[in-house]
Amino acid sequence: MPVKMHFNWKDIPRAARFGFSAKKIWVVVEGLFISSIIYAILSYIALLVSGDGLVEIWRSYRFIPTPSISELSILGAIIQYIAIFVFVLINFFYGVAVSKITFEQLKGDEFYEISKARKFAFTNGKAVLWTPISIILIILAILALGVIVGLIGKIPYFGELFLLLSAVPAFFGVLLIVYLVVALALSLFISAAIIGATKSDTFDTLFEVFSTLNEQNWRFLGYETLLFGVMLVAGAIWIFAIGRALYIAHAVLGAGWLMGQKYITLEKIAHYYLSVPSFIRDLPAFRWFANLTAVSSILNPPYSLPDANIVMQIVGFIFGILLYAIVFMGFGYMLSMFWVGNLLGYVVITLKKDDLNLLEQKEEIEEVTTESLEKEKEEEEKQTEDKQEKE
C-alpha cells in the first residue's frame, strides 16, 4: 500500500519515523565505513608526503587522521582535499541509495533491496556529482570573464572606458554569482532526492534545482529548518539511548564481582583508538551535544595506551573498531533522516510547483500503456473484420 501523505509541512517530521530503519541506517553506516577507510588511507599519504613519520601519525590520530591543511605540504594538501572530496562523494552516492529506498517505500514497496538501491545509486547517481560541479564551472566562467574585464581595464584610456561600459553587465554578473552560490548549496541538499525519485540525469537535476530555487525557495527553507530541528531532537534521543546502553554495559560488566577493572581497562583501550578531531571536540556545540546525550566520555580519550596483556590489547583494539561502528550508527540515523527528509520535501515541493504527484507517476504510465494496448487491439480486430467483409 502506498503511504498516504499530507503534501505539506506535516510530512517533514515523518523523516524521524521513515529514517529510523535498520535498512537505511545500515546503508548510511556502510557508506561511512567505506568513505572513512579511503579517507584515512589518503590522509595518511598526505601526512607522509608532508614529512611526518608513520608512528607519529598513528600516535596523533590513530585510525582516522584529521590534519589541518596548514600542517601539510602543497602536495599533501592536494591529497587531503582529494580525501575530503572522495569522503563526501561516496556518502552522497549512498544518500541516493537511501533516497531510492525511501521513494519505493512511499510507493508501497517495503521490501526494496539494499543491493538494488546500491546498484541504482552507482548507476544513475552520477548527477549528484556533476550537478554541483556544473554550477561551480558556471561560476568560474563568470569569474574568468571578470578577470578579463580587469585585465582590459589596465589598458590606458581605453581600459577606463571599457570598464564604464561593462559596469552594468558586471554588476548583474556578480548578482548571478550570488544566485549560483545559493543554487550550489541547494543542489547539495536535494540532488540525491531528485535522482532517487526521478532517475534524472545532470541536466534534469539542474533544471529541478533551479526550478525549486525560483518557485519554492521559502517553502524549501522552511522545510529544511523544520527537518534540522527534527534531526536534532530525534538524533539526540537516539544517541542518548546508545549512550545509556553503553553505560549499562559498563555498570554491569564493570562491577567488582564480575569483570571489574578488566572491563574498565578494555573500555579505556577502545576509547584510546577513538580519536575525535580536536577542532570538533573543542566546539562548544559539540561538547554541549555530547553532554546532553550522555556520551561525554568520547571527549577525553586516553592520551596513551593503557597497560594490559597482549590478549586484552587485541580485544581492546577490536573494541575500538566496534566503537567507531557505534558512533557511525549514532550519526547514521541523523544522516538517514537528512536524506529521507529531503526526499519527502522534494515530493511535496514537486506537487506544489509542477502539480505532479511523483508517487503516482508509475501508475499513470502503466494506465496509459494499458489504454494504448487496448486501443491497438481494438484497431487490429476492426481491421480483421473489415478484411473479412471485403473477402
- In the chain, the amino acid numbered 297 is S
Are 312 and 72 spatial neighbours (Cβ–Cβ below 8 Å)? Answer: no
Average pLDDT score, the chain: 88
Side-chain half-sphere exposure of 26, counting CA atoms within 13 A: 9
Residue 374 is predicted with a pLDDT of 59
Are 1 and 108 spatial neighbours (Cβ–Cβ below 8 Å)? Answer: yes
| pLDDT digit string, tens, across residues 141-160 | 999 999 998 899 888 888 88
d(CA 190, CA 299): 33
Residue 167 is predicted with a pLDDT of 86
Are 160 and 202 spatial neighbours (Cβ–Cβ below 8 Å)? Answer: no
| pLDDT digit string, tens, across residues 261-308 | 888 888 888 888 887 776 677 778 777 877 777 677 776 777 778 888
Q: In the numeric block, which cell numbers belong to residue 168?
A: 552594468
For residue 56, pLDDT over 80 is answered with: yes
Residue by residue, what is the 3-state secondary structure of the chain? CCCCCCCCHHHHHHHHHHHCCHHHHHHHHHHHHHHHHHHHHHHHHHHHHCCCCHHHHHHHHCCCCCCCHHHCCHHHHHHHHHHHHHHHHHHHHHHHHHHHHHHHHHCCCCCCCHHHHHHHHHHHCCHHHHHHHHHHHHHHHHHHHHHHHHHHHCCCCHHHHHHHHHHHHHHHHHHHHHHHHHHHHHHHHHHHHHHHHHCCCHHHHHHHHHHHHHHCHHHHHHHHHHHHHHHHHHHHHHHHHHHHHHHHHHHHHCCCCCCCHHHHHHHHHHHHHCCCCHHHHCCHHHHHHHHHCCCHHHHCCCCCCCCCCHHHHHHHHHHHHHHHHHHHHHHHHHHHHHHHHHHHHHHHHHHHHHCCCHHHHHHHHHHHHHHHHHHHHHHHHHHHHHHHHHC
Indicate yes or no: pTM above 0.95.
no
- In percent, the amount of the chain with pLDDT more than 70 equals 91
Residue 366 is predicted with a pLDDT of 40
Average pLDDT over residues 166-179: 91
Average pLDDT over residues 178-186: 96
Q: Quickly state the pLDDT bin for 123 (edges 50, 70, 90).
A: very high
What residue ranges do the domains of the chain occupy? 15-365
Residue pointed to by grid coordinates 540532488: 191
| pLDDT digit string, tens, across residues 243-264 | 888 888 888 888 888 888 888 8
| Residue 128, C-beta contacts closer than 8 angstroms, at least 6 positions apart | 92, 93, 95, 96, 191, 192, 195, 205
Among residues 97, 122, 106, which one has the least CA distance to residue 23? 97
Q: Quickly state the pLDDT bin for 18 (edges 50, 70, 90).
A: very high
- In the chain, the amino acid numbered 269 is I
Residue 367 is predicted with a pLDDT of 40
Residue 377 is predicted with a pLDDT of 63
Residue 294 is predicted with a pLDDT of 66
Lowest mean pLDDT among 39-43, 99-103, 187-191, 273-277: 273-277
Average pLDDT over residues 298-319: 83
Q: In the numeric block, which cell numbers belong to residue 150?
A: 580587469
Give how far Cα 84 sits from Cα of 38, 58, 94, 175, Å.
10, 19, 16, 29
Give how far Cα 283 sits from Cα of 221, 237, 287, Å.
26, 20, 6
For residue 373, pLDDT over 70 is answered with: no
Residue 368 is predicted with a pLDDT of 43
Residue pointed to by grid coordinates 535498520: 22
